[in-house]
Amino acid sequence: MCDYSLEAYQSRPATTGEKLNLDRFPSGSMGFSAGPASDVAVCVLPDAQLRLEGLSETVQKAYGVGPVEEVVMTRLEAGPYKDAVRFSNGTEVLLQRLDRGLTVVILATAAIRAATHELIDPTAIDIETPVSEHV
Digit-coded pLDDT (tens) for 57-96: 999 999 999 999 999 999 998 888 899 999 999 999 999 9
Alpha-carbon span 37 to 35, nearest angstrom: 6
For the chain, domain boundaries = 4-110
pLDDT-flagged residues of the chain (< 50): 113-127, 129-132, 134-135
Alpha-carbon span 98 to 73, nearest angstrom: 13
What is the pLDDT at residue 121?
A: 46
∠ CA(75), CA(97), CA(3), 5° rounding?
A: 35
Count other C-beta atoms under 10 Å from residue 14's C-beta: 21
